Amino acid sequence: MVAITDTDIPKEEMRRALTWKGAFWIASGAPAFVLFSIGGLAGTVGKLAIVIWAISMVMGFIQSFTYAEIAGLFPNKSGGASIYGASAWLRYGKFIAPLSVWCNWVAWTSVLSLGSSIAAAYVLNTFASVPSSHSAEVINWITANSASLTGLAYDEQVAKAIAALTPSIREWTLFHGQIGPVSFSLNAAFWIGAAFMLLVFAIQHRGIHGTASVQKYLGLAVIIPLAIVGIVPILLGKVDVGNFLPMAPTSGDWDLTSWTVILSGLFLAGWSTYGFETAICYTREFKDPANDTYKAILSAGLLCLALFIIVPFTFQGVLGLQGVTDPSIVDGSGVARALAIMVGGGPVILYALILMMVLAVLLSIMTSMAGSSRTLYQGSVDGWLPRYLGHLNHHGAPTNAMWTDLVFNLFVLAVAVSDATSFFFLLAVSNVCYMIFNFLNLNAGWIHRIDSPDRRRPYRAPTLILAAGTVLSYVNAVFMGAGAKIWHPAALWAGLGTALLIIPVFWYRHYIQDGGRFPSADAESQGERRAGVLPYVALFGGLGIVLLANWIFVL
């Protein structure tokens, strides 16, 4: 492979201004991912939700050891595990390597739009809430208007009451329509969500050190309330053990349909619980990458291990099956209010905790933009993605990549805020891409071991744990093949199609912009292909498992 001199390599450089503690605070947005799917998962799998959260989080923690090892191999690269894993696959196919980078970016950038839509829903539910069917407002309206409701069934009366009491801002939209399997809307939630994204962009424009400083205080303001809503109801005796029993599928039978639903829960949970791997996106900006890298991801993993188990446990233990299947909980819009009510207290406590939940989602958005923009930046520097993404401002922030994140997610946000079906379709498509990235990078661990056995490793994962991560990559393939269809019938195929979009993008960069040659940084990283055909066997084995699981597990 011939090296070239790339005149477009940015003159500005990322600054080594970060310690593992700073990366920990940036990754502290990961626990807030529980708010994205806690309602949808509980409403789908019922009483098994807490078991699924616990299994998924333990899996994510085991996988993190592989990521920690391969990140240490590249102290001068930014962008996260996908960048480090792509270097392993590059020896075995030019188009395999960028697939990892692309899928990781698609998964992470969607947090911007999905998170902004949730934060907007929290705001609207606080200041312009839609009354529930059992609320006093609805009952009083029916009583006051009983004369005009004569002859209508009670359900019809409730529907009319809710329609009359719903604030007009909840119905307003500048424009709306349909795109294939999803709808879109420029409604109030869209504009509120767009404002959140612009705020995050402004903060991160100052560079990683400034981002870490802001995120530290936001992190404290979020981790503490999440811990409060997880622990206080237990101390107050509000957790009912009966809400976990019997520990069985909602249908009561352990048949194929039930297992399909369970696997769909594990598929969805992985999108949230595996996310703390973003802590290693900043290796190029660590003061001491050899030590900071593994400390960052393992400390973030321990934080997530605690919160991803305790918060869903309390959530389910207090609300019970009837509570978690409420429509506002399933679609996520009512989760913040439900968590706040669980703690108790007056209106001041209620609104303070809802504010904290908004900040929690804002923190996850900041985590997403910081990580996904650096994935785009390093992908550009390494020759995977278009050159313009490799620009840095004078603060060392990848601003072109950040603008790309922002503009792309404004379009996605319009879909996410339209309805719950569109929201979960986007989340499922995003997660299909995330599972592809996960598979490629967990297998990159053993490929690096075979191909680069003598390369210095600041952190070396126990071989047994590395092997366990490889096994889990195939387990995740089962989750993807079996579970994506639950969230939308077209989710798996749409996700696979989205992943393949990297082909024209990479072709343009590699063959049009670079003339079929890689920048020197990648050319120099290549070595002997000692793994032989094993990477290809692993790749086709994973694809086969996805297709087989999709065929076997049905509703």
- Cβ-based neighbour number of residue 374 at 10 Å: 29
Cβ proximity of 403 and 63 under 8 Å? no
Rounded Cα distance, 4 and 433, in Å: 31
At residue 490 the predicted structure's pLDDT band, cuts being 50, 70 and 90, is very high
Kindly state whether residues 117 and 157 are assigned to the same domain: no
Which CATH number is 512's domain given? 1.20.1740.10
Which of the given ranges, 138-142, 282-286, 477-481, 527-531, has the highest pLDDT on average? 477-481
Q: Say if residue 226 is in the same domain as residue 320.
A: yes
User: With 50 as the cut, is the pLDDT of residue 501 above it?
Assistant: yes
Establish if 356 belongs to a structural domain.
yes
Co-location of 151 and 87 in the same domain: no
Are 410 and 110 within 8 A, CB to CB?
Answer: no
Q: Residue 28 pLDDT > 80, yes or no?
A: no
Give residue 148's pLDDT.
Answer: 86
Range from 60-69, 497-506, 533-542 carrying the lowest mean pLDDT:
60-69
User: Which is more confidently placed, 114 or 328?
Assistant: 114
Query: Is 2's pLDDT higher than 70?
Result: no
- Cα gap 251→239, rounded to integer Å: 23
pLDDT, greater one: 152 or 521 = 152
- Percent of the chain with pLDDT strictly greater than 70: 91
**Domains contained in the chain, number:** 2
Reduced to 3 states, what is the DSSP secondary structure of residue 419? Answer: coil
Q: Write down which residue in 165, 185, 211 finishes a domain.
A: 165
Region of 391 please: left (phi>0), alpha (psi -120 to 50) or beta. beta
pTM of the model: 0.87
Q: How far is the CA of 368 from the CAs of 67, 407, 426, in angstroms?
A: 18, 14, 16
Judged by average pLDDT, the poorest of 60-69, 151-160, 241-250, 364-373 is: 364-373
Which range of 41-45, 318-322, 505-509 scores highest in mean pLDDT? It is 505-509
- Mean pLDDT value across residues 217-233: 82
Q: Clarify whether residues 116 and 135 are in a common domain.
A: no
Residue 2 lies in a domain: no
Residue 315 CA to residue 349 CA, distance in Å, equals 18
Average pLDDT of 290-317?
87
Question: Cis peptide before 246, with omega less than 30 degrees from 0?
Answer: yes
Looking at the structure, do residues 57 and 155 belong to the same domain, yes or no?
no
Between these two residues, 18 and 262, which has the higher pLDDT value? 262
The answer to whether residue 94 is domain-embedded is yes
pLDDT grade for 391, boundaries at 50, 70 and 90: confident
The contacts of residue 358 (CB under 8 Å, 6+ apart) are 119, 122, 123, 336
Handedness of CA 517, 518, 520, 522 (dihedral sign): negative
Judgement on whether residues 34 and 158 belong to the same structural domain of the protein:
no
pLDDT band for position 11 (50/70/90)? very low
Q: 268 and 319 share a domain?
A: yes
The answer to whether residue 14 is domain-embedded is no
Which of 74-88, 341-355, 467-481 is predicted with the least confidence, judged by mean pLDDT?
Answer: 74-88
Give the pLDDT confidence of 424-478 residue by residue, as tens digits: 999 999 999 999 999 999 999 999 999 988 888 888 889 999 999 999 999 999 9
Do 246 and 137 sit in the same domain of this protein?
no
Mean pLDDT of 159-177: 91
Q: Pick the range with the lowest mean pLDDT from 67-76, 209-218, 248-257, 442-451.
A: 209-218
Of 145, 165, 185, which residue is a domain's last? Answer: 165
Q: Which pLDDT does position 385 carry in this prediction?
A: 92
> Going by DSSP bridges, is the β-strand pair 518-519/173-179 parallel, antiparallel, or unpaired?
unpaired
DSSP state of 91: G
CA distances 106 to 172, 220, 500, 515, 526, Å, are 30, 28, 11, 26, 26
- Measured CA to CA, the distance from residue 309 to residue 31 in angstroms comes to 10
Q: Please compute the mean of the pLDDT values over residues 346-364 and round it to a whole number.
A: 80
Asked if residue 478 lies in contact with residue 545, where contact means CB atoms within 8 angstroms, the answer is yes
Which domain, by its residues, includes 498? 25-128+177-552
How many degrees, rounded to 5, is the angle at CA 442 between CA 439 and CA 445? Answer: 145
pLDDT of residue 208: 52
Residue 18 lies in a domain: no
- Residue-averaged pLDDT of the chain: 85
Given this model, what pLDDT does residue 367 score?
A: 75
- pLDDT (average), residues 479-507: 95
Q: Is the pLDDT of residue 210 over 80?
A: no
Q: Is residue 170 part of a domain?
A: no
Indicate whether 264 pLDDT > 60: yes
Q: Between 121 and 18, whose confidence is greater? A: 121
Give dist(CA 408, CA 106) in Å, integer: 10
